[in-house]
């Protein structure tokens, strides 16, 4: 349910794992999630009031509807900083490295004019990222909508 927030947090550089595949509202699975959060020193972000209540300090009830408001809620709680290093793959959470020429060449979806772009590579997905218009729009939205 918080898939968009997950992708934003990864673009913002935060190690974020998704609980997709867990059954929300199932007490046993909730216990597993909380144990995972505790063991890996993670904060559990949830829409589930009961899960948030059980999690105490480990959990945050995400109340906002749109993703920028959700990020703002986490900024207000001092859980995240307003930044966008684009350092993690939004799909798989792997830390990105700078892309090599041949990787950029091979990506048909890369911008043809590379001037002013920085390219990053996810070794896990074989996916190319760059801080082009999409990244800039994202950064503009975060900068303009969030106050820290």
Among 59, 71, 89, 146, binds Zn ion (CB under 5 A): 89
Among 32, 77, 91, 106, binds Zn ion (CB under 5 A): 91
| 34 binds Zn ion per the rule CB under 5 A | no
Chain mean position to CA 51 = 21
| 92 binds Zn ion per the rule CB under 5 A | yes
| 125 binds Zn ion per the rule CB under 5 A | yes
In angstroms, give the least distance from the CB of 93 to Zn ion: 7
Among 51, 71, 122, 128, binds Zn ion (CB under 5 A): 122
Quote the DSSP letter at residue 116. T
- Sheet hosting strand 119-122, strand order edge to edge: 97-98, 119-122, 127-130
Closest by alpha carbon to 122, among 100, 95, 104? 95
Query: Collapsing DSSP states into helix, strand and coil, what is residue 121?
Result: strand
Residues that bind Zn ion (CB under 5 A): 89, 91-92, 94, 122, 124-125
């Amino acid at each position: 349910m918080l898939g968009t927030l997950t992708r934003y947090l990864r673009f913002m550089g935060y190690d974020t794992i998704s609980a997709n595949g867990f059954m929300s509202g199932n007490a046993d699975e909730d216990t597993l999630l909380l144990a995972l959060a505790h063991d890996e020193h993670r904060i559990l972000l949830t829409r589930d009031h009961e899960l948030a209540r059980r999690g105490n300090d480990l959990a945050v009830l995400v109340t906002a509807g749109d993703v920028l408001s959700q990020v703002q809620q986490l900024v207000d709680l001092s859980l995240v900083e307003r930044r966008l290093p684009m350092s993690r793959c939004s799909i798989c959470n792997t830390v990105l490295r700078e892309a090599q020429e041949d990787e950029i060449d091979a990506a048909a979806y890369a911008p043809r004019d590379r001037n002013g772009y920085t390219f990053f590579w996810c070794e896990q997905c074989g996916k190319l990222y760059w801080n082009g218009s999409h990244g800039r729009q994202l950064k503009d939205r975060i900068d303009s909508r969030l106050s820290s």
